[in-house]
Structure 1
């Protein structure tokens, strides 16, 4: 896993831009909570890409300062469970946004460092060799405990180069991008790596939602088709009206995660399956249609049951 850390540090990457109008017009609309970023990294040795997903949800107090909590996610749904890993806190002070990484594996407290400055005028160049803030962040043991969400192939090229500097930029100009804007050009096509904001919510209003990311705010189980095929099912799920209970039988794929949603996409249950047979009491649930999702290492099973209205 040390190789992963080295690649995170060595692979200098380009933060790819886009311009959602709602963010650009607000200037300093850095998300205070409820936001997800996707980070793309490139494996130089194997010439393939890896994708990591980070979510910002909730707050915490560190040394009398309030930080928004940043997690390394196992999916693209902003619901924190046992497989999501806390990696640090983010805070905004005036025009500046800082990140404070969680303690590293040696229990050494890592200092916060500057991510963005909304007053950046586009001319100041910040040079660090190496960029110490990113290096400290990459020392986190969290990166050793997670696999990328997905892979994609990149055509081999024997020509590539990279820039070893970064600019401190404001999200008003860079569309709410996340992490320092490294640049890493792989070939003459200009392809590179970096991160992008895929969803952001302030209060009950969704400020930005990228195409194909309806799952960010717990809507995936509602919008996803529910397969009736039993071939690749993780578990057998049966709701029995007589005793108002859901029985879950799972053989070899434990532990797994069980999540239950109502028809409005609100999560009503979320727990880990550690036994081959689990019985869930549905007595306190109001009548209606419920959709469940069972997840195990990148595999998801969806289904539904109906509880009769009383």
Structure 2
């Protein structure tokens, strides 16, 4: 009984095993997810921006997935990717810890989504950057406001549980009236595009294709693994954009064998791969090059919780692991 209780505690903490993280991905995808987002830019007709998670990090003893503005539609390390911030899921809530991309300053964590909210609930979002653009950059005090989200509608749809929300920000006189409306979908995120604040133009259920380009941001497509989880009806080329032939990611399988061994299976087209085992603080503890399609790695570290990553031209894979 005591052993069963210990396993349950580990799972509930969200620290490790893949079967414990699947529930989190149902709330908000944190692995193998790419968002294709339209963001207004100087009247441009179509501007696609790709965001995705590449690796893990730790702030104040909390584990986050590292969110990047990607150079292309592949989840891999690229010096041209722009680090945006860390994202973590706790129960039905999704938090973000942004970074000012110009100064490197770590900003205060804010609440992105609360999928446990009910109609009429007021959700306090914390100090949320109220800026447009692709990344958080050159922020001043006036750009970051204490926010509150008012839930005015909750319903089930074929895409998942949908939430209608209004955003308000705090001024000297108190919380201002609605600064814009948004739709959240559990397992997808905002229909205005991931972490961006709602537009000043109320949208409700209106689709972006029905509006003039350049007026607001919009989630065009969300791909999780090999599946399209969301595609705006007005977006005709999302799948083609996300599956550029030269950027196809060939899956790599990583299995833990016993307590101190990893089995790695990959296509020869992926090779070579660089394997790295890191501490939770980011220190590389073990590294080697993988040149065979089926390889085994002996973990030469003291017992504890670690992060591993596999890096190649068309591959980036990262996860937590417990060494006993």
TM-score (norm 1): 0.46
Q: Which structure dedicates a bigger proportion of its chain to strand?
A: 2
* Bigger radius of gyration among the two: 1
TM-score (norm 2): 0.44
